[in-house]
Amino acid sequence: MRLSSTAAYGIIAALSISSFALFESQGHTLILALAVFAIALVKIATILNGFMHLEWKHRPFAQVLTGWLVVVGAVLAGGMFALPWN
């Protein structure tokens, strides 16, 4: 399944604005931080699929870049869990 480029653009723009709005309104918590990073990863997946048109058949790049998303997600989440939160 591949997103149309306009749909992808709409999603990326909307998600970007949402993460900004979340930041501005919700204060600074672990949940917010994780949400903002999750949004970032969804945006990147949208770019890979909807902009780059990368599909699972495009070996090995689709697999490697999916792995990248997982690793980066773990790094970002881990970084947030390692912080002190009130």
Partner 1 sequence: MHAPSTMSADARKKTLALPGDEGVFFFITADMAMFALFFLVFMVGQAQAPDIYRASRAALDPALGLLNTLILATSGWLMVRAVEAARREQWSAARRNVIAAALVGLGFAATKAFEYHAKISHGITLNTNEFFTYYYAFTGLHFFHFVIGVLVLAITQAKLAAPEGEKTRIWLESAAAYWHMVDLLWMVLFPMLYLAGGTA
**Residues contributing to the site for partner 1 (CB under 8 A):** 5-6, 8-9, 12-13, 16-17, 19-20, 23-24, 28, 32-34, 36-37, 39-40, 43-44, 47-48, 50-54, 57-59, 61, 64-65, 68, 71-72, 75-76, 78-80, 82-85
Q: Which residue, 1 or 24, is less far from partner 1 as judged by CB?
A: 24
Pair 47, 34: CB distance under 8 Å: no
Q: Identify whether 84 is preceded by a cis peptide bond (ω within 30 of 0).
A: no
Give min distance, CB of 11 to partner 1, in A.
Answer: 10
Distance CA 71, CA 57 (A): 21
Residues with Cβ within 8 Å of 68's Cβ and at least 6 positions away in sequence, in order, are: none
Give min distance, CB of 72 to partner 1, in A.
Answer: 5
Q: Which residue, 1 or 71, is less far from partner 1 as judged by CB?
A: 71
Residues with Cβ within 8 Å of 40's Cβ and at least 6 positions away in sequence, in order, are: 19, 76
Give min distance, CB of 21 to partner 1, in A.
Answer: 9
